[in-house]
Structure 1
Amino acid sequence: DVDMGGPERQAAGTPGTPGTRGTRGPDRAPGTADPGHDPSDDLVDEETRESEAAAAKIRAGWSKMGLLLRRLTVIGVFVALGVGLVRTLLDPKTFQRVVEATGEIAQKGWIDVVGDLTSAWILPLLIALIALYGWLRGVRVYESLVTGAREGFTVAIRIIPYLVAILVAVGMFQASGALDLLIRAVAPVTGPLGLPGEALPMALLRPLSGSGAFGVMAHALETYGTDSYVGYLVSTLQGSTETTFYVLAVYFGSVAVRRTRYALGACLLADAAGIAGPILDVNLFTSF
């Protein structure tokens, strides 16, 4: 038999003996250093932390400096563009060059001159503004452009079947003569309401095809004149309605949605309002 020293000794535990209460690890006095620990390791760790902190400060400083340089570059570019535009406008030969280029005499005013000059600057300024703003914010402009072009190409491939289907359906509807039959059947009803048969193809074709509706409008303007009731009506219909079925096919096809639910009804209701509104407006306009 082995004497364990009684319950009191077992409860207190033996220092350094695993499995008993009161264990303190290795047999060394509290506050003394670990015999196997090298004090130089602590010094190396402290130096490493200090060097990492210094490197982080340097990187932060360079980042701020780069942001400042980008901002100064953007400001410099726009200042240069502004100076160039002002110098062009203040050049005494500018007015004469514009007058000669447009074939007009000196009756041309400075407002038209400024419009002719600034119209050539709008697109370059817009492109430069977008690119420089992205660069100012730290965006990789070229990589973002490539990514967007890739995504746009993917979306275009996905919506091509829907686009082909709606264009073929509209072409068949026109070529088969169904549109003419529908116009002849509906014109006696819509004529007294302010929508004559000459403008009815515009109202029927506009929700289906933008190019077809534009052709109808051009034909009506050439046939009846731009200042006629039909000319006013088809022009207003062109601007107040939308190619509903084309838009639904393209937009829902791009996200692979087959069930449009209430979208079609809401769009057709908006088209009805877009047809009724121009009829009322043109009638009011031509009545004075």
Structure 2
Amino acid sequence: MFFTPMDSPTHSDDEEIAPKNLQKPATDDNFLNVLQTLPSLSEKEIDEYKNKARLLVNQSYELLTSNEWQKLNTTSAGDVVSVLSNDYGKILKIEGVIDAPAIELVDRLYNNIEDMPSWNKDVSLVKKIETINLNTDIIYQSTKTYGGGLIGPRDFITLRHRNKCGNYYMTSGISVKIDLPHRKNHVRGENGIVCFAAEKIENDGDNNNENKCHVTWILHANLNIWLPQRVIDKSLASTLEKMMGSVRYYVYQSFDTTG
């Protein structure tokens, strides 16, 4: 999940951040036309993306199993929010239990990514723009205004990869650069790494555990906005909390977990 703040009370981040040597931002209609007419990837590009995807699995697993996370708080839903700081900045994660089988949850979120706006009201559009193989693709995603106007429309171009590593079924992502114009009224954000991972919950006498999983959501995003870091951190933590709620809503609406 991927969010970046927009206008500050005193100036427009679009004016400050948008590259000055690019063509005029595309209107929504023109932008959607461009998305639908992107050229096919070359064999060299496909190989490069496959290599990035393999590295992404290792990077995600290292974050999932790191002992350097520091707990920030527990949400009202019982989810735990933590932070890890490294040379690239702060990385956030949230952990909780979802009432769905681990592998099915990850597969549905990966395969049906374009349906996300129907269950996550902060997301306005998701489109698969390149398919590399069954478990690897590139998506375009845009978000709505958020956070009382401090966080506004952003868009992201993300390489995604689905895999199983250790006990984790996961889908991971990282921003990539492709020849895509900037979209009007949107600021292009960057995902350093994002990861949604689900683990089976071992049977502890509860027969319903097979329909539950432990979920970890990791977010490392460049917000491209002139705001105090504490405001950005709070916004991202709130994004993670809301995303967990959205996933639970999605499961409630579309999964049969009655056994």
TM class, shorter-length: under 0.3
* Larger relative helix fraction: 1
Q: Normalising by the residue count of structure 2, what TM-score does the alignment of the two structures yield?
A: 0.24
- Greater percentage in strand: 2
Higher relative contact order (CA 8 A, sep 6+): 2
What is the TM-score when the length of structure 1 is the normalising length?
0.22
